[in-house]
Structure 1
């Protein structure tokens, strides 16, 4: 049964709703693990559409969460969500930052299970406020200081709810089961591991993820390759303060330990099997010019072309950090804050998506291999699926971005949401009938 025209017509007709929802989410961005309002909107809408909804601890493995904010931050975020209209019952069930949501639409007829994943969190970016920035000029810029949807996740969430509505309207004529995964904390690659570990994709036969990127609206890359594996680490050195002039020998200098570590981290041997990266992004230490620094804090990341290469760099990094601490006789604590494995699309599923996109005729340019050269924790879902002999793929949808991702002037052409919803809904229907 061909649903192409019906799906495209539905997606076109809901463009004003997609835009309205996206702009509402853009005004109310929420960082990873604090998406209380966003998740509440998703839960409420999915329930209205007849989906079975699981959320909170039901879809997240507590021990696998990474980079969870401190309790005061979570409490403040939940209180803000309540002030901005989130239902108290939902926010309370997500207390502690358990903001993942899974909506399931079971047709009651045998068939495949198709999962689609959408991320919900924002960036730690202060949004541009001048009239050259469209969200500011049009009145939908962020109302939350220091938070901004600078990567398009507001659009992804809106598309996810649009797809949910399209598939709900077709439910009586479909077979199998649809699972829509709304993931928290993609930024910093913190959230997918806990959802994957909970088994939310274990019953799926196919899984698709997507992202708006720089190419123009009408562009589609259906075979994303070379996701870099990555590890995000916080490092805290603890020494002993002392008077820098009167008794320097009694101090233990955490700043020098951190500085030695920072320099030697960038000297880690590269790997012959593929590219690797390391970066010390933050180093803070000391309290005054006449005090031997007792504390130092670093935030670092490693990356590798494969999970194995990243593991090599991370293990060497930990050796360097511990060696620097030993050299200056200070204590050190290394805290994992996020991670993602490497990955590549399943070729068979990528080809199915290409075929669907070509048949729809709504994309001006369809390309095959898109070299990611970055990291995305969708790869936790991808890895789990592929290890079970199933298929997963990630696609890039052109958004005619106003600025690069994570920039304070980021924005995208909202018509891209119509194209994305059309493709994802049609691809899901095709796969259900596969």
Structure 2
């Protein structure tokens, strides 16, 4: 096990140095595929496991092509890189025992964030020499750790294949940030045959050496890109001939934050980005906004999203400009299957490396697109849960100083492996 701990740390630190954002995880995916292939897994990659029309917020062809060239020059595995050249970077690795038994799926995510990592000398990745090598991008949410944990689990399963029953599917998902990647993999039917589905996360406020087997507290969400198109004009000479897109956007911002809250559950709305205009003496003919909505349930989120659309339409009418709303990410609400969570809970409770295991904690948090997988499995009669492995955090998620305690990795892998064994005994 000491050797596996070293591998987990090495994998995590390598991925941390080369963070790749959603649908651009080409270097990461090529290395993951190479390792899984060496372990004897059957691989499905790229468009085999992702529906093109269900990819939300995918980068442009130009950005995708440019990143492919970057990946070639920065350590990607040349044997597998071509499978991901168009930005469809998902992987499903299947280990078939050849014996009758359940189909168990584990999902881990691979993408990073557009955050400039701290260069403070006391920042552990900086101190130990594995900080991000890409300016403005970093693993600030633990997905480098998740990918390493997925490979660690793959290693244990492959080494003990003779003891297994049924099949195990390891799903390496792109573009979790922005809730963009899961929907396309579900639409490609990758979990249609799954009896048990487990999604994982590290941290999220759970203390080191503690574990939560079921977290249903993630809010449904929609990520919206909104654009206004008006008419430019000289602000001093002919202001009446202009149609002010900036004014429409500004009016929208104030109104959006005034959306009535819903009596049946929590709601959120945030305008995170606003860009407009081209000069101080020009009536702004263009404006762009990036916003998100969240709701305690999918129906409540739909209510907030509907309010947003009404506000945008009204502001556009008021200022006589055109508008467009594009959904670039979405996540559902979903409840964990407690029978499955109980198995995870028992495995963590039996482990000497966990001081506390909690069956269920539904404290509202952010949003997660693993709910697409969960809902699909449950609709087919299967069970699904979202579990959280606690760790020490240097700073909160999505922070420039984010870092985990790497001693959390191996105990998490062991619990996931023990869970597979228990489910196969059923």
TM-score (normalizing by structure 2):
0.98
Detail structure 1 runs of 4+ shifted over 3 Å in the superposition.
Answer: none
1:409 maps to 401
User: Contact 1:215–1:401 (CA<8 Å) still a contact in 2?
Assistant: no
Q: Is the aligned partner of 1:188 residue 2:170?
A: no
Structure 1 distance, partners of 2:224, 2:50, is 21
Cα RMSD between the aligned structures? 1.1
Residue in structure 2 matched with residue 223 of structure 1 by the alignment: 214
Provide the C-alpha distance between the structure 2 equivalents of 1:389 and 1:173, rounded to a whole number of angstroms. Answer: 26
Report the counterpart of residue 25 of structure 2 in structure 1. Answer: 35
| 1:191-242 CA-partner distances (Å, limit 9, x unpaired) | 0000011111111100111111133321101121222000000001000100
Secondary structure, aligned partner of 1:407 = coil
Distance 1:355 1:344 in 2: 20
- Give yes or no for contact 1:43–1:101 (8 Å, CA) kept in 2: yes
Q: Does 1:83 align with 2:73?
A: yes
Residues of 2 paired with 1:156 and 1:113: CA distance? 21
Which residue number corresponds to residue 241 of structure 1?
Answer: 232
In structure 2, what is the Cα distance between the partners aligned to 1:252 and 1:323?
15
User: Which structure 2 residue ranges, 5 or more long, are not aligned?
Assistant: none
1:326 Cα deviation after fit: 1.2
C-alpha displacement of 1:368: 2.8
1:390 aligns with 2:382: yes
Hey, what's the Cα distance between the residues in 2 that align with 1:207 and 1:361?
Answer: 25
Secondary structure of the corresponding residue to residue 345 of structure 1: coil
Report what 2:4 is aligned to. 14
Counterpart in 2 of 1:399?
Answer: 391
Question: For residues 198 and 357 of structure 1, what CA distance do their matches in structure 2 show?
Answer: 33
1:205 aligns with 2:191: no
Q: Which residue of 2 aligns with 1:5?
A: none
Which residue does the alignment assign to 1:64?
Answer: 54
Q: Counterparts of 1:88 and 1:237 in 2: how far apart (Å)? A: 43
1:278 and 2:269 matched = yes
**Which residue of structure 2 lines up, in the alignment, with residue 333 of structure 1?**
324
Give distance in 1, aligned partners of 2:210 and 2:348: 11
1:24: which partner in 2?
A: 14
1:266 maps to 2:265: no
Match of 2:296 in 1: 305
Residue 359 of structure 1 corresponds to: 350
Correspondences of 1:156-195 after superposition (within 5 Å): 156-195=146-185
The secondary structure found in structure 2 opposite 1:225 is: coil
The number of residue pairs the alignment matches comes to: 424
Residue 324 (1) aligns with residue 319 (2): no
Deviation sequence 1:344-398 (CA, Å, 0-9, x none): 2111111111112112232101123322422111111011111122110111111
CA deviation map 1:76-103 (0-9, x unaligned): 2111110012234532222221000000
